[in-house]
Structure 1
Amino acid sequence: MKLLNKVVVITGASRGLGLEMANALAKEGAIVWATSRTAPHPNEIAHAEPGSVTNVQLDVTDEQSVLTLFAQVQRLYGRLDVLVNNAGVGVFKPVEQTSVDEWENVFRTNVTGLFLCSREGYKVMKAHGGRIINISSVSGYIPIAENGVYGASKFAVQGFSQICNEEWKNDNVRVSTIFPGAVHTNMTEGRHFFDPSAMLVPKDVADTVLDIASRPLHVRIDEVKILPPKGVL
């Protein structure tokens, strides 16, 4: 097993892409904490077995919630091997139609939440090393119309990831950013310009996360772009 006894936290993992990743990593022997807002509180979680997925409460926009979760990881396991920042929200409309509330809500989850989890995850990792894998989007390196706030948040993820790699490289903490094209999930469901038959599926991204997570720490993988057959979308 590629990840036997590795401790993994995945944000936004109650369904879709996050759940697919949680199951894929657990199948390889990892101890996976799959987080969502409605799961049991971290302080109610006991020591889990390898190959298991444990649902744990986390609101990435709430600093105290983030502090509590990573403190419990430290208390139970004394280490964190892999953090996957997957939690995200989207607003897809022209910039001139985007409200301040929509802008701030997207950035609160996609950027501030990722920052909080990365900061606290790093604190647990730095004694032994580890990997942080940030799930971005093709919108994070290609400007796409009607993706204004979502795209801007994902461009921010790319820049933040690069800075973390520079700051944490001597502590053996590696930060990777994955840029998927269109993936058939609840976020794209019902959007008329997406053809599900021409899109990636969650397993495509989960397999890439598994590959990065299982690499030795002397291998640094900064960025990976995954596109569907016809290109970006």
Structure 2
Amino acid sequence: MMGRWREVRSHVWRDERGTPVLMHVKKITPDGEVIFPWKHWLDFGNGTRPRWYKGKGGDDGIVAPLLYPLDVFARADRSAHVYICEGEKDCDALSGVGVLAVTAGGVCEFNPKHARLFKSWRGRITIVRDNDAPGAFGAARTYGLLRDVGIPAARLRVARGRCAGEGSDAFDHLEAGWSVDDLIPESIAHVRKIADTATAEDFKRAGYDRAPRYAGDPGWVVVGREDAAELTGWKPRHAS
């Protein structure tokens, strides 16, 4: 007997004013496949009830907020300590213990546009990576882009959680009872060394092996040899 569709969690992406724009949902299909579809919020202003529609709304002129949660980031003190992590679940977990946390979405999503948002940032920036090679790749790439916009190395660091499992993240770290102060700091040289070992198979294990449902869907990123060739600083290797 087939199971039912099950929604595991959802995260609402808002603009600078706090208006809902997108919703990122984690679902499990009846056959057990994990998917991450998007919805977009539309209010036509003509008396019809505003509601969520499938997809990212590109045809409706929807512009995706660059960061989650963008409204919190926009109001934040530029001298605060900010944590950049891989996904919304980690952001919510870190925010829940009282720190400022943001994400660009998936491991490869942080790009020069995101980095420019931090150009005037005066506080410390900690990049919290997942405990796997793709996490190291994403952290190294984020670190480099932030350095490119003038963030000094003295205010930048990379850290990971204390859970040993492959792919464990900030959420797992906090769920296990450790605090933000218990995150393990790592040198960028060490992180880059791990990133250099990443293979396409590593990305598949991390969940980046599915074909996109629609253009620009970061929950369904394919990282193959052709895709990886376009990503700065990573030459894909064959999995052993």
The alignment's TM-score, normalised by the length of structure 2, stands at: 0.35
| Larger RCO: 1 or 2 (CA < 8 Å, sep 6+) | 1
Q: Which has the higher helix share?
A: 1
Structure having the higher strand fraction is 2
In the superposition, the TM-score normalised over structure 1's length comes to 0.35
Bigger Rg over Cα: 2
